[in-house]
């Protein structure tokens, strides 16, 4: 195969145009190209009057070495063939099937790889299956009671199920895990375009079906998935895990336990600390959500409000504040909604979500400020969780459980908003005007104002007075890291910390990749009886 980089085409090009451009670059007739595969597609919008797509493609042709030599182009090379390889079973034998706690991306992708290689894993999920979970979440958003074990954070698919479903990651990938994750997503129902678009996303509506399909495949291969099954204790002897306790007293023997618990499993972290599982508090970030009309973002990024060929525009912004803090936008949702993402009674958190089409009227993103363990006001591995809880309690009390909101100009001046402006907010969940400065520590509020003003120099209209703020965005990543060694195992043998909750990922793709990584570690060491 021949790889061609930097193929530039207009935004309204045809497939035939792409083949012809590849042939011209290779200096061969288009008919001599046997196949063409898009490896990467990105939008170049640096010059608004000349927006175009840039492609990396791989083509099959006759006498490929000669064609590459004839092309005399630094962007034309023989493609390097790399494939994902799952290890062969190790020599140690498992007496019991592996158990996975959590069915978020880390747990599901770990589970699917173990199931496909004969390990018949047991997946335990505290929340409901995705269909019942969606019903519970919709009722909560309409003003119903929160279900602490089945909500935006907990349930089949994890927190990512109610998100934009973004699949881009900055994790280096020499082992092709990223590609394997994307291929599995496509296999279970995602659009094949995620394999090559620069910033792939799925959308919460499509993601729900994908996680259900993955669950059914795990079961078909002999695995088991149990919902409303919260793990309440861990029993170890002589530094090795022996069994776990589910619910009020059911005991399950296991040699291997994968902790894919997610970043909001605070009660599980508490049990782990009591049982002596080594962990530490780590830095993360918190802040608010901001909403703008999607047209504002499209105009800034594309130079036009017409997004029919390019899709809803996104952004990623960072700023170093005078107080030494960093502020940046996070989990940007084009055409999306701000949602009530609470998981504990008496506490409130928000997140962003969008559907596959990203056709909502507003864009939203988190404005989050970096914080470190020195800010937590306490000691111990769970001090970051305590800090989160304090701010979430303040957010809940501000609007009696509704999402507290404020216009940006009022936030700057420290006054409660009285009426909306030209930005009609897009929320999932009830909301109410509040003074968000009463929720946040002073350094966070100051950083947000400085950041928004700085971002306005990048995106005109970002600091518009009637932009809608909501809080608190507190679940950006895990405030805890559970230690693991080079074999990905805790010092309590048999426990494998995994994914975002354990502190080793940040988003759907990196969590899924870590799930693959842990599955590989288990398989390289163990085999099942009769495998």
CATH number of the domain at 114, please. 3.50.50.60
Decide if 85 is inside a domain: no
* Whole-angstrom distance, CA of residue 337 vs CA of residue 75: 41
The answer to whether 177 and 110 are in contact (CB under 8 A) is no
Cβ-Cβ contacts under 8 Å for 351 (sequence gap 6 or more): 152, 159, 162, 163, 289, 331, 338, 339, 341, 473, 475
Decide if 490 is inside a domain: yes
Decide if 84 is inside a domain: no
Query: Cα 157 to the chain's mean position, in Å?
Result: 11
* Whole-angstrom distance, CA of residue 485 vs CA of residue 227: 30
Residues 188 and 302 in one domain: no
- Residue by residue, pLDDT tens for the chain (531 residues) are 999 999 999 999 999 999 999 999 999 999 999 999 999 999 999 999 899 999 999 999 999 999 999 999 999 999 998 999 999 999 999 999 999 999 999 999 999 999 999 999 999 999 999 999 999 999 999 999 999 999 999 999 999 999 988 898 878 889 999 999 999 999 999 999 999 999 999 999 999 999 999 999 999 999 999 999 999 999 999 999 999 999 999 999 999 999 999 999 999 999 999 999 999 999 999 999 999 999 999 999 999 988 888 999 999 999 999 999 999 999 999 999 999 999 999 999 999 999 999 999 999 999 999 999 999 999 999 999 999 999 999 999 999 999 999 999 999 999 999 999 999 999 999 999 999 999 999 999 999 999 999 999 999 999 999 999 999 999 999 999 999 999 999 999 999 999 999 999 999 999 999 999 999 999 999 998 765
Residues 363 and 464 in one domain: yes
Which pTM was predicted? 0.96
- Print the domain residue range for 422: 283-473
Q: Which of 30, 45, 78 is the last residue in one of the domains?
A: 78
* Whole-angstrom distance, CA of residue 201 vs CA of residue 114: 25
* Whole-angstrom distance, CA of residue 81 vs CA of residue 58: 11
Residues 268 and 288 in one domain: no
Residues 180 and 272 in one domain: yes
pLDDT at position 169 is: 84
* Whole-angstrom distance, CA of residue 419 vs CA of residue 429: 18
Give the 3-state secondary structure of residue 373: helix
pLDDT at position 279 is: 98
pLDDT at position 531 is: 55
Q: Which of 49, 78, 107 is the last residue in one of the domains?
A: 78
At 459, give phi and psi (nearest 5°): -125, 105
pLDDT at position 528 is: 84
Number of domains making up the chain: 3
The CATH number of the domain holding residue 45 is: 3.30.70.2700
Q: Which of 458, 473, 488 is the last residue in one of the domains?
A: 473
Decide if 456 is inside a domain: yes
pLDDT at position 500 is: 96
Decide if 345 is inside a domain: yes
Residue 124 pairs in a beta bridge with: 101, 226
Residues 273 and 292 in one domain: no
The strand ranges marked E within 144-191 are none
Decide if 87 is inside a domain: no
Residues 337 and 450 in one domain: yes
Decide if 86 is inside a domain: no
Decide if 68 is inside a domain: yes
Relative orientation angle of helices 130-141 and 204-220, to the nearest 10 degrees: 150
Secondary structure letter of residue 86 according to DSSP? P
* Whole-angstrom distance, CA of residue 253 vs CA of residue 128: 23
Residues 304 and 452 in one domain: yes
């Amino acid at each position: 195969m021949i790889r061609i980089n930097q193929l530039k085409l207009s935004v309204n090009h045809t497939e035939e145009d792409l083949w012809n451009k590849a042939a011209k670059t290779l200096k061969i007739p288009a008919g001599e190209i046997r196949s063409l595969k898009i490896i990467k597609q990105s939008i170049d919008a640096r010059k608004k009057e000349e927006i175009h797509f840039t492609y990396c493609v791989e083509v099959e042709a006759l006498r490929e070495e000669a064609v590459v030599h004839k092309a005399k182009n630094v962007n034309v090379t023989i493609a390097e063939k790399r494939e994902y390889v799952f290890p062969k079973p190790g020599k140690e034998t498992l007496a019991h099937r592996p158990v996975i706690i959590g069915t978020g991306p880390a747990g599901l992708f770990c589970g699917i790889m173990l199931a496909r290689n004969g390990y018949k894993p047991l997946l335990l999920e505290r929340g409901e299956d995705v269909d019942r979970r969606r019903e519970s979440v919709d009722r909560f958003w309409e003003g119903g009671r929160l279900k602490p074990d089945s909500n935006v954070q907990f349930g089949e698919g994890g927190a990512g199920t109610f998100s934009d479903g973004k699949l881009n990651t900055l994790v280096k990938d020499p082992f092709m895990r990223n590609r394997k994750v994307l291929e599995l997503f496509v296999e279970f129902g995602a659009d094949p375009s995620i394999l090559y678009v620069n910033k792939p996303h799925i959308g919460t509506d499509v993601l729900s079906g994908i996680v259900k399909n993955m669950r059914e495949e795990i079961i078909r291969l002999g695995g088991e998935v149990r919902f409303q099954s919260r793990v309440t204790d861990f029993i170890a002897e002589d530094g090795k895990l022996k069994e776990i306790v589910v619910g009020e007293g059911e005991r399950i023997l296991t040699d291997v336990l994968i902790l894919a618990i997610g970043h909001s499993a605070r009660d599980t972290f508490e049990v782990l600390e009591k049982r002596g599982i080594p962990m530490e508090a780590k830095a993360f970030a918190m802040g608010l959500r901001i909403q703008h009309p999607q047209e504002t973002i499209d105009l800034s990024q594309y130079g036009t409000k017409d997004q029919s060929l390019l899709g809803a525009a996104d952004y990623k912004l960072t700023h170093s504040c005078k107080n030494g803090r960093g502020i940046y936008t996070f989990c940007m949702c084009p055409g999306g909604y701000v949602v009530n993402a609470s998981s504990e009674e008496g506490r409130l958190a928000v997140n962003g979500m969008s559907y596959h089409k990203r056709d909502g009227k507003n864009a939203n993103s988190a404005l989050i400020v970096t914080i470190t363990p020195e800010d937590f006001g306490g000691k111990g591995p769970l001090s970051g969780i305590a800090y989160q809880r304090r701010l979430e309690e303040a957010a809940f009390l501000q609007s009696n459980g509704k999402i507290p909101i404020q216009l940006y100009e009022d936030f700057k001046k420290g006054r409660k908003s009285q009426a909306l402006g030209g930005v009609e907010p897009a929320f999932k969940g009830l909301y109410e005007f509040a003074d968000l400065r009463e929720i946040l520590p002073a350094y966070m509020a100051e950083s947000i104002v400085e950041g928004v003003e700085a971002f306005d120099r990048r995106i005109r209209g970002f600091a518009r007075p009637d932009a809608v703020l909501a809080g608190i965005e507190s679940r950006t990543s895990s405030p805890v890291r559970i230690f693991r060694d080079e074999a990905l195992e805790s010092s309590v043998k048999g426990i494998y910390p995994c994914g975002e909750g354990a502190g080793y990922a940040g988003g759907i793709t990196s969590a899924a990749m870590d799930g693959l990584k842990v599955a590989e570690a288990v398989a390289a060491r163990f085999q099942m009886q009769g495998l």
